[in-house]
């Protein structure tokens, strides 16, 4: 993933203070004596961070390319749109269930092995799917291989969520998260176009490209030199690493619920949870409303594609300026300002009629969303204990996925009982409520988190 220029100067290990304090000139509390602060990452972590950026970009590019053409493959084989929709829903729900489960062994010392193994298995499944596309594969073959690939991809993503904290110092997290966002936005812009072109040339090509991207991800993880697992892999368990098989069920339940408990006890993570679930559901609702509005026209596919391309380009710009914006304004000011700006492009959809109006509004939303994502991602990593990174991220991701899963049905219901302006009005109200919530909660929550980080010296609440 692309680098972001102007990274902050690294502080000595154990003294990094995240750039989340509202007033950088304010007096910081005196450091309390705390045992074993989290050391900063080694010097080679800069190289490893760039590797993670590139892994994320290549993996996202392959996933976007094959994800677009999978429904086209099913339609080309004579299956109904309902079949393609059912496969997409099953894949989404599998991630909600599997992610938190995989996060447990990832946090307990198996992150690198899980990332490498799941990426390799996903490459195998996608490669076999590409071979079957040389003929006319049965539906159960396509769906079985596609679901197996999605399960492996979810396992990889769940395990990778705790890797960033090991290769980036706390004050570099906004830059590190922005690099991931740049790769995601490039994948969103280039991936669907690449997949469509490859599918026109030959049906197996998009899946071969995805298999290659998974293989690159597996090799990339193997090349990362920084340890990706916590040194004390059982610090949340009453027994040692070698005796984990003999844990009682109560201890296993404690390990499984550690992510939810961490989110429930942390005001910072509760702020992140409210934002990701509410905003994620609202944006998905707007996307399906755009499909219903623009897809009804004769050139609906081209209009939707144009809106997505413009949105992706605007999102790339937002990702590139996110890290400098955090450094200049601070996370609290940037989050609050962006929260108040979000209702503007959303509300403008009330008067948008064609693809140009929807494209302009979605470009405005896509420009702002990466700024929020970088802030929320960096503070979530900074205030989560190292030994529950994957489990906490799994809880946040699952709740957001559940909120987004109901958006398509809700969009159809609101458009049916009302008009196309009904879901737009609902989303505008939700963004306005988020702005008020952020104005009230964010300054105190993030300032308290910064004070806690300055007191502990490890960047965690």
Q: List the pLDDT tens digit at each of the 461 positions of the chain.
A: 344 333 333 333 333 334 344 333 333 343 333 333 344 455 566 788 888 888 888 888 888 778 767 777 777 777 765 666 667 667 667 667 776 777 777 777 788 888 888 899 999 999 999 899 888 888 888 888 888 888 888 788 877 777 777 777 777 777 777 777 787 778 777 777 788 788 878 888 989 999 999 999 999 888 888 877 765 444 444 444 454 555 555 666 666 677 788 888 888 888 999 998 899 889 888 887 876 776 555 455 566 667 777 888 888 888 888 888 888 888 889 999 999 999 999 999 888 777 788 888 888 998 998 888 888 888 888 888 877 887 888 788 878 878 777 777 787 788 788 777 888 899 999 999 999 999 988 887 777 655 454 444 444 43
Global pTM value: 0.65
pLDDT at res. 18: 41
pLDDT at res. 137: 86
- Give the helix, strand, coil percentages of the chain, each rounded to 5: 75, 0, 25
pLDDT at res. 449: 54
- The whole-angstrom separation of Cα 30 and Cα 53 is 36
pLDDT at res. 73: 78
pLDDT at res. 338: 93
pLDDT at res. 78: 77
DSSP 148-169: HHHHHHHHHHHHHTTTHHHHS-
- The whole-angstrom separation of Cα 133 and Cα 127 is 10
pLDDT at res. 435: 93
For residues 214 and 123, is the Cβ–Cβ distance under 8 A?
Answer: yes
- The whole-angstrom separation of Cα 392 and Cα 380 is 9
Largest CA distance in the chain: 69
Exposed/middle/buried for residue 447 (C-beta within 10 Å: 0-12, 13-18, 19+):
middle
Q: What would the two tokens of residue 308 be?
A: 């997505």
pLDDT at res. 433: 94
For residues 277 and 399, is the Cβ–Cβ distance under 8 A?
Answer: yes
């Amino acid at each position: 993933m692309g680098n972001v220029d102007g990274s902050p100067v690294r502080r000595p290990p154990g003294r990094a203070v995240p750039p989340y304090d509202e007033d950088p000139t304010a007096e910081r509390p005196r450091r309390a004596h705390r045992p074993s602060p989290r050391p900063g990452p080694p010097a080679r972590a800069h190289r490893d961070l760039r590797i993670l950026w590139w892994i994320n970009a290549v993996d996202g590019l392959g996933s976007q390319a094959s994800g677009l053409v999978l429904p086209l493959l099913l339609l080309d084989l004579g299956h109904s749109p309902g079949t393609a929709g059912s496969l997409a829903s099953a894949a989404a729900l599998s991630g909600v269930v599997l992610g938190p489960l995989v996060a447990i062994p990832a946090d307990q010392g198996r992150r690198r092995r899980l990332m490498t193994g799941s990426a390799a298995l996903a490459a195998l499944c996608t490669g076999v799917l590409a071979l079957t596309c040389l003929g006319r594969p049965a539906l159960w073959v396509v769906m079985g291989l596609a679901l197996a690939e999605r399960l492996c991809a979810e396992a990889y993503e769940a395990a990778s969520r705790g890797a960033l904290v090991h290769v980036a110092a706390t004050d570099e997290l906004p830059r590190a998260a922005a690099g991931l966002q740049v790769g995601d936005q490039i994948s969103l812009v280039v991936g669907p176009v690449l997949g469509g072109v490859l599918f026109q040339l030959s049906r197996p090509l998009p899946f071969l490209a995805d298999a290659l991207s998974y293989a690159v991800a597996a090799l990339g993880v193997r090349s990362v030199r920084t340890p990706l697992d916590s040194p004390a892999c059982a610090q949340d368990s009453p027994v040692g690493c070698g005796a984990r098989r003999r844990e009682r069920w109560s201890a296993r339940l404690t390990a499984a619920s550690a992510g939810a408990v961490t989110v429930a006890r942390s005001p910072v993570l509760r702020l992140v949870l409210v934002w990701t679930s509410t905003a994620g559901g609202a944006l998905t609702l707007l996307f399906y409303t755009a499909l219903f509005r623009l897809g009804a026209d004769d050139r609906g596919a081209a209009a939707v594609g144009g809106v997505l391309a413009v949105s992706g380009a605007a999102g790339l710009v937002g990702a590139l300026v996110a890290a400098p914006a955090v450094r200049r304004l601070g996370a609290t000011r940037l989050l609050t300002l962006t929260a108040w700006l979000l209702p503007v492009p959303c509300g403008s959809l009330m008067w948008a009629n064609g693809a140009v109006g929807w494209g302009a509004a979605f470009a405005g939303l896509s420009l702002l969303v990466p700024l929020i994502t970088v802030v929320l991602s960096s503070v979530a990593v900074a205030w989560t204990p190292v030994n529950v990174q994957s489990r906490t991220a799994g809880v946040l991701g699952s709740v957001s996925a559940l909120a987004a899963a109901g958006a398509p049905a809700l969009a159809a219901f609101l458009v049916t009982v009302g008009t196309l302006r009904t879901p737009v009005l609902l989303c505008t109200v939700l963004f306005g409520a988020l702005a008020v919530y952020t104005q009230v909660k964010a300054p105190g929550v993030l300032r308290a988190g910064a004070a806690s980080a300055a007191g502990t010296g490890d960047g965690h609440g």
